Amino acid sequence: EYGRALHRTISPQGPELTARNEIHGKVVLKDTLKVIPRDAPMVICDDPIVLPWSDEEKEDLNSMGGLAQRLTETLPGGVHLRPYPSGFLLMLWDFVHADVVVPDPPPENIVFEELYPEVVIRGLSVMIPGLKAYLSDMPRTTVDGGYYMKAPDNKPLIGKGTLPNYFICTGLSGYGIMGSPAAGELLAKYIYQLPLPSYANELAPWRFYDPNFKPSITKTKEL
The pTM assigned to this predicted structure is 0.78
| Eight-state DSSP code of residue 163 | S
Helices (H), the chain: 2-10, 55-64, 66-70, 116-127, 176-191, 200-203, 214-219
* E strand segments, 136-200: 141-150, 157-160, 167-170
Closest to 176 measured CA to CA, from 156, 196, 151: 156
Averaged pLDDT in 10-residue chunks for the chain of 223 residues: 55 61 94 97 95 96 95 96 96 93 86 95 97 93 91 88 85 84 96 96 84 53 41
